[in-house]
Structure 1
Amino acid sequence: MSTALSTLTRRRFGQLALAGGVAAMLPRAAFAAVATDTPLHGLSAFGELKYGPDYAGFDYASPEAPDGGRMNYSVPSWLFNQSPQTFDTLNTFVLRGNAPPRLEKLYDSLMTSSLDEPDSLYCALAESVSLSADRNTYTFRLRPEARFSTGAAVTAEDVAFSYLTIKDKGHPSLVSLLRTVTDVVAVDAATVRLVFTGQQTPQDALEALGIPIVPKAFFDGRAFDTTDLTEIPGSGQYTVGRFAVGRFIEYEKRADYWAKDLPFARGLNHFQTIRIDFFRDRQPALEAFKKGEIDFREEFTTRSWATEYDFPAVTEKRVVKGEFPLEKLPRFQCWALNQRRERFADVRVRRAINLCFDFEWTNANLLFGLRTHSDSCFEGSDFKAAGMPSPEELAILEPLRASLPDEVFGPAWVQPVSDGSGNDRKLLREASQLLAAAGWKQGQGGLVNAKGEVFRLEFMINSQEQSRVYGKFFDTLRRLGIDATFRLVDEAQYQDRQSNFDYDMILAAFGFTATQTKSGLDLFFGSSSRDRPGSYNFPGMADPAVDALIDKVGAATTREAMTTAMRCLDRVLRVRLDWIPNINGGARRVAYWDVFGFKEKPDYSFAVESLWWFDEAKAKAIGRA
């Protein structure tokens, strides 16, 4: 199965963590003993920071590794307006246009997350942060050595400009992070204050500290939302090198990077050149890998993994084919049926459609037995509920009982299990009954409602592989009388229609953070994001009870409380089926030419372009030096 829609959520700029960075939050109790305006080197959500104020670098970093060489790789993930298939702009901060993945490597932020902790932040552009007594003001002292790639110093004016402009004109997922920021004030050239409304949760405050910083002077006479091919300078370790629109882009490591010897950056980002090639389809990308034009590839298509990695370079052990453990993060791959279109608003319809997907047959016949059927939007994490609600969960759910389906208070919903025949009559009969109960009867041309309208379902895809994997599923839908079709569109059209909610059904895969936040959950499940172009609320769901549970998550002051609230949210989402959990994999399946060195991966990232390095001896051994 291909996850061609894999997308990153709110990943902190400068940290290449597959979960969108590791979001952090600051319970008010955690710093109760910290004196007002005490300079801090880091902030932790729950418990102590792993790294003290004198830390030399992160444990997963490799300062002993050589720098240089290049990595040509096929990106497994992207964020904001980025696309792995083409690009037409170098502005990744806005909704319009298609930007190349990894532009975030050009930018540093005030603080950055470590990849071996679930909820900690450390100073980056800032050398210290202090908190006001009411926890509504965060004061940062900038590092005097911080420089943009232009050579200009990073000042408090640049920080204030970046925050206020992104809050006003940025990509919706960035705007969401700043919704409780009321002002950003440059006190002097090296001091900046972030002021919050007082209505923010602790999570909201900490999530705002990973915003990319850009030079104010660059935008004198230039609109922030301009989408052309001019590089927006940053203070990060890379800059844009050669590129050809829609074909490839190269990022070059800066010899003058101001922070290369500072703890948060030391021993990371070894490659001199990182190149990304763009392909409209996965097959040409695979062929480029086989030829050695691409060095690293993560494979999401099970058929390809099982049948196409037997070419000579693999048998000669010049290409390594292997598996890496997944990160300790929630895994999300779900269908979204667009409830802005009335026929999908009834939960009985969504349940019926889900019943038509015979996972057991699909996994055995098309996916080589390599997948599992997801029950939850938070698969593989502690946030996934199990069995009956615990007393702690009931304490949260009971006050909302009148607004919740009765099933929420029973065993957690799980996927139906078919007989594996591809024609489970019991499940299909149940699906037919649900559709009839929702007002869809057999009529001329298939299922029709009381108005005589035919039930149509168009699955918008941008990869032919999805039509292969879900072809049997759509045959079953048609047998029940649904006019079910696939609509294959190019990447630019896909992005535009997705951003404006112009579809019946799409498949989405996202990386979630280890610590959940109100702003992040709102983007996917909150009523406030239902009609916000560019949000990730693809089903168009809006439920006050879900909003209340998101508020509970945001207000949690311990990991235990957050986990309990998340399990309550999970129970409700699974009964509602706004997002229909789909397919899940059990490992990261990757192939790479044997020219790299690396250490054991950290728990919360698989950012090979930041963590691995070029090994010249290995390259010579296989004739690729």
Structure 2
Amino acid sequence: MPSFVLTLLLGSCLWATSLAALAEPVADVPTVAGISLYDAPALPDDFSHLPYANPDAPKGGEMRRAAQGSFDSTNPFILQGNPADGLNHVYDTLMEASADEPFTMYGLLAGGIRLDPDRHWMEIDLRSQARFHDGHPVTAEDVVFSFRLLRDEGQPFYRAYYADVDKIEALDDDTVRFEFSDNNSRELPLILGQLPVLPKHYWDSRDFAAPTLDKPLGSGPYAVESLSPGRRIVYQRVEDYWGRDLPINRGRHNIDRLVYDYYRDQTVALEAFKAGNLDLRRESSAKNWATAYDTPAHEAGFIKRMVVPDAQPAGMQAFVMNLRREKFQDRRVREALTLATDFDWLNEHLFYGAYEETDSYFESSEMEASGLPSDPERELLAPYRDRLPQEVFDTPLPAPRPEGLRARLKKALGLLRDAGYEIRDGALVNRETQQPLRLEFLLYDTQFERVTLPLIQNLERLGIKASLRVVDVNQFLTRQRNFDFDLILGSFPQSANPGNEQREFWTSDYADAPRSRNLIGLQNPAVDGLVDSLIRADSRQALDNAARALDRVLRWGFYVIPQWHLDGTRVALWDKFGYPQPFPEYTFDLSSWWVDPQRASRIEQRQRGER
């Protein structure tokens, strides 16, 4: 994934002159078809198709999937509104990632890429045949316009992503040049490859910052065919898509219609799938996976289930504590709350033994901190020693915890007493303010009620007055964006190459930015500095060391109540699809799937017979 950092200010005219000299293009910089974070791309410049794509895949058919909640906008780039699912299908980016490599980007709109060996600048030659759906050519001016529009008026993470871009300019109609304020972020050129290019001639006469339900204009493989606000959106494959025969696209975008039907509740969506009204479903519930698919259609082989392996880090799913509220300011209180979860009981009684407990923000990867800090980690942590808990330096990870829930609750009560609380009439109250400790868990998915209620019961044993509120997904998103919660179900997904996105997850600049992903409200100079170190990493080992140091600080801060993970994606589907075997190693990529006409016909005949 990508990375964020504050743009460095030039200290003097002399330094500015020096940097400009470094940014001068080198005459012999080669033009290439792809770039990678550390190593060379796995594929040669003249590759014919991605190794996991089937260039002979048939075109046609449809894929129907469920979306949750509602939508009131077709602009996915702004703060306002709830955008519809699937809008990424409409827009081409400068480059496209390979799902079979950790972080490599190959040209999409970009027909050629020139990257300064010292990473001070990058130039991109656009493909002359690139067109928006209305026939207008995609130009360098569209790229410049899109970059500035997203950075200045888009969601906060764009500002973080592009913070180190010092200058962008169109050198001619087909060539755009990016100049970087420094070369500390190795992944910045790849992040810029993810830039969605918007049509300047379309947006010039429209208010970009306002939600809209107009059908958007893009240059991608699909266009919006129809929509019913809050209920359904349908995308139609563009027959004359300009990029259909490019090597990066050959064997991809095979399905004619992509349908997203909206459901308020996952239980209803599951029943719709089993009834044949949806074609594919990612299953998030271990209980459903174990019990809900025992149907005649499954027994007859019409419904298949599979777990698609995933080499990405598991990341952190958790109940997130909102540090903007006074009750969470004391680290001892936060640690006490983490001790109230009984994962072993949940896994045995509710999850059918399906999960592993999550400890790390970079779980299941080389970036996960363990044991005591290594010498390189200590060197990164040393400048912040006075700001960090001593355990960061002298206590091994995972953090030691008493065995058994009873012992953990006993330790938790001791921490709460040390933090100034005491039990009065069965309630935990602050000795100074005389106020009871009250907590509210905010959810939007009823499936999580059964895993939250046992935690609430354990907290009540400590005298904490905890409650659960389940709201519809739109209200949930509104409260999340406004940081109006005590504890919320959140996740911090990670890739094999974390970078600029870590700024928005953890750093002070995003603690109070509306709709940012710093759900915790972290404002910690040590975290800010470690995120910068991670982004500046110039080797795989340096990246791993920085991630481990950051992981230690986050874990010893006890900012979340960690949950659990599964190293793979559970997928249930009606058996009408073809897909690559083996699956690509790093990303679950539905764009390389296709509808098998014979199997689809067999399923349609069965479903017609049932009706």
**Would you call these one fold, judging by a TM-score over 0.5?**
yes
Question: How far did residue 418 of structure 1 move?
Answer: 4.6
What corresponds to 1:620 in structure 2? 601
Question: How far did residue 528 of structure 1 move?
Answer: 1.7
* Residue 338 (1) aligns with residue 330 (2): no
* Residue 524 (1) aligns with residue 502 (2): no
* Residue 61 (1) aligns with residue 53 (2): yes
Q: Secondary structure at the match of 1:396?
A: helix
* Residue 39 (1) aligns with residue 31 (2): yes
Pick the aligned partner of 1:479 from 447, 458, 461: 461
Question: How far did residue 164 of structure 1 move?
Answer: 0.5
Pick the aligned partner of 1:70 from 45, 62, 73: 62
Question: How far did residue 358 of structure 1 move?
Answer: 0.9
What corresponds to 1:596 in structure 2? 577
What corresponds to 1:466 in structure 2? 448
- Report if aligned partners of 1:374, 1:415 keep a CA contact under 8 Å in 2: no
The alpha-carbon distance between structure 1 residues 480 and 235, as it changes in their structure 2 partners (threshold 3 A), is same
Question: How far did residue 51 of structure 1 move?
Answer: 1.1
User: Which 10-residue stretch deviates more, 107-116 or 174-183?
Assistant: 174-183
Pick the aligned partner of 1:534 from 511, 515, 521: 515
* Residue 274 (1) aligns with residue 266 (2): no
Question: How far did residue 259 of structure 1 move?
Answer: 0.7
Pick the aligned partner of 1:85 from 59, 69, 76: 69
What corresponds to 2:19 in structure 1? none
The C-alpha deviation readout for 1:27-66, integer Å capped at 9, x for no partner, is xxxx9x9855432222111122111111111101111111
- Report if aligned partners of 1:36, 1:130 keep a CA contact under 8 Å in 2: no
The alpha-carbon distance between structure 1 residues 566 and 10, as it changes in their structure 2 partners (threshold 3 A), is closer
Q: Secondary structure at the match of 1:467?
A: helix
Please give the alpha-carbon distance, in whole angstroms, between the structure 2 residues aligned to 1:133 and 1:50. Answer: 19
What corresponds to 1:17 in structure 2? none
Please give the alpha-carbon distance, in whole angstroms, between the structure 2 residues aligned to 1:469 and 1:265. Answer: 42
User: Which 10-residue stretch deviates more, 593-602 or 582-591?
Assistant: 582-591
Question: How far did residue 122 of structure 1 move?
Answer: 1.4
Please give the alpha-carbon distance, in whole angstroms, between the structure 1 residues aligned to 2:27 and 2:537. Answer: 23
- Report if aligned partners of 1:70, 1:271 keep a CA contact under 8 Å in 2: yes
What code does the residue aligned with 2:584 have?
A: P
What code does the residue aligned with 1:341 have?
A: R
Please give the alpha-carbon distance, in whole angstroms, between the structure 1 residues aligned to 2:341 and 2:563. Answer: 9
What code does the residue aligned with 1:74 have?
A: A
Q: Secondary structure at the match of 2:187?
A: helix
* Residue 231 (1) aligns with residue 223 (2): no
The alpha-carbon distance between structure 1 residues 149 and 622, as it changes in their structure 2 partners (threshold 3 A), is same
The C-alpha deviation readout for 1:383-407, integer Å capped at 9, x for no partner, is 1112222233233233433332221
The alpha-carbon distance between structure 1 residues 104 and 622, as it changes in their structure 2 partners (threshold 3 A), is closer
What corresponds to 1:309 in structure 2? 293
What corresponds to 2:11 in structure 1? none
What RMSD in Å do the two structures reach over aligned CA positions? 2.2
The C-alpha deviation readout for 1:542-563, integer Å capped at 9, x for no partner, is 2111222112111111111111
Question: How far did residue 168 of structure 1 move?
Answer: 0.5
Q: After the TM superposition, which residues 13-162 of structure 1 pair with which residues of structure 2 at under 5 Å, given as runs?
A: 37-74=29-66, 84-132=68-116, 135-162=119-146
- Report if aligned partners of 2:314, 2:362 keep a CA contact under 8 Å in 1: yes
The C-alpha deviation readout for 1:40-97, integer Å capped at 9, x for no partner, is 222111122111111111101111111111111236xxxxxxxx32111000010111
The alpha-carbon distance between structure 1 residues 502 and 415, as it changes in their structure 2 partners (threshold 3 A), is farther
Q: Secondary structure at the match of 1:258?
A: coil
Question: How far did residue 326 of structure 1 move?
Answer: 2.5
* Residue 284 (1) aligns with residue 265 (2): no
Question: How far did residue 292 of structure 1 move?
Answer: 0.5
The alpha-carbon distance between structure 1 residues 267 and 510, as it changes in their structure 2 partners (threshold 3 A), is farther
What corresponds to 1:14 in structure 2? none
For these two proteins, the number of residue pairs brought into alignment is 584
The C-alpha deviation readout for 1:514-540, integer Å capped at 9, x for no partner, is 1111x2111111122111111111111
What code does the residue aligned with 1:121 have?
A: M
Question: How far did residue 133 of structure 1 move?
Answer: 7.1
The alpha-carbon distance between structure 1 residues 74 and 611, as it changes in their structure 2 partners (threshold 3 A), is farther
Question: How far did residue 328 of structure 1 move?
Answer: 2.9
The C-alpha deviation readout for 1:390-428, integer Å capped at 9, x for no partner, is 233233233433332221122113474653xxxx32111
Please give the alpha-carbon distance, in whole angstroms, between the structure 1 residues aligned to 2:117 and 2:365. Answer: 35
Question: How far did residue 280 of structure 1 move?
Answer: 0.5
- Report if aligned partners of 1:110, 1:210 keep a CA contact under 8 Å in 2: yes
Q: Name the % identity.
A: 38
- Report if aligned partners of 1:160, 1:186 keep a CA contact under 8 Å in 2: yes
Please give the alpha-carbon distance, in whole angstroms, between the structure 2 residues aligned to 1:624 and 1:305. Answer: 26
What code does the residue aligned with 1:67 have?
A: K
- Report if aligned partners of 1:88, 1:229 keep a CA contact under 8 Å in 2: yes
Question: How far did residue 371 of structure 1 move?
Answer: 1.4
- Report if aligned partners of 1:36, 1:131 keep a CA contact under 8 Å in 2: no
Question: How far did residue 239 of structure 1 move?
Answer: 0.4
Question: How far did residue 161 of structure 1 move?
Answer: 0.7
Q: After the TM superposition, which residues 203-222 of structure 1 pair with which residues of structure 2 at under 5 Å, given as runs?
A: 203-222=187-206
Q: Secondary structure at the match of 1:384?
A: coil
Pick the aligned partner of 2:497 from 507, 511, 515: 515
Q: Secondary structure at the match of 2:364?
A: coil
Please give the alpha-carbon distance, in whole angstroms, between the structure 2 residues aligned to 1:359 and 1:493. Answer: 29
What code does the residue aligned with 2:250 have?
A: R
Please give the alpha-carbon distance, in whole angstroms, between the structure 1 residues aligned to 2:484 and 2:366. Answer: 34
What corresponds to 1:389 in structure 2? 373
The alpha-carbon distance between structure 1 residues 464 and 324, as it changes in their structure 2 partners (threshold 3 A), is same
The alpha-carbon distance between structure 1 residues 35 and 374, as it changes in their structure 2 partners (threshold 3 A), is farther
Please give the alpha-carbon distance, in whole angstroms, between the structure 2 residues aligned to 1:154 and 1:464. Answer: 45
Q: After the TM superposition, which residues 354-369 of structure 1 pair with which residues of structure 2 at under 5 Å, given as runs?
A: 354-369=338-353
Question: How far did residue 166 of structure 1 move?
Answer: 0.7
What code does the residue aligned with 1:241 have?
A: E
Q: Secondary structure at the match of 1:43?
A: strand
Q: Secondary structure at the match of 1:174?
A: helix
Q: Secondary structure at the match of 2:177?
A: strand
Please give the alpha-carbon distance, in whole angstroms, between the structure 2 residues aligned to 1:176 and 1:586. Answer: 29
Question: How far did residue 445 of structure 1 move?
Answer: 7.3
What corresponds to 2:17 in structure 1? none
- Report if aligned partners of 1:41, 1:53 keep a CA contact under 8 Å in 2: yes
What corresponds to 1:411 in structure 2? 396
What code does the residue aligned with 1:73 have?
A: R
Please give the alpha-carbon distance, in whole angstroms, between the structure 1 residues aligned to 2:318 and 2:303. Answer: 32
User: Which 10-residue stretch deviates more, 127-136 or 599-608?
Assistant: 127-136
Q: Secondary structure at the match of 1:336?
A: strand
Question: How far did residue 570 of structure 1 move?
Answer: 1.1
* Residue 401 (1) aligns with residue 385 (2): yes
- Report if aligned partners of 2:319, 2:490 keep a CA contact under 8 Å in 1: yes
What corresponds to 1:446 in structure 2? 427
The C-alpha deviation readout for 1:225-270, integer Å capped at 9, x for no partner, is 1211012211110000122111111111000110111111111111
Please give the alpha-carbon distance, in whole angstroms, between the structure 1 residues aligned to 2:45 and 2:250. Answer: 15
Pick the aligned partner of 2:527 from 543, 546, 550: 546
What corresponds to 2:609 in structure 1? none
Please give the alpha-carbon distance, in whole angstroms, between the structure 1 residues aligned to 2:509 and 2:116. Answer: 29
Gaps (5+ residues) in structure 2?
4-22, 607-611
Q: Secondary structure at the match of 2:304?
A: strand
- Report if aligned partners of 2:370, 2:396 keep a CA contact under 8 Å in 1: yes
Please give the alpha-carbon distance, in whole angstroms, between the structure 1 residues aligned to 2:414 and 2:42. Answer: 55
- Report if aligned partners of 1:377, 1:579 keep a CA contact under 8 Å in 2: no
Q: Secondary structure at the match of 2:263?
A: coil
- Report if aligned partners of 1:445, 1:454 keep a CA contact under 8 Å in 2: no
TM-score, normalised on structure 2? 0.91
Pick the aligned partner of 2:308 from 324, 337, 343: 324
What code does the residue aligned with 1:494 have?
A: F
- Report if aligned partners of 1:413, 1:571 keep a CA contact under 8 Å in 2: no
TM-score, normalised on structure 1? 0.90
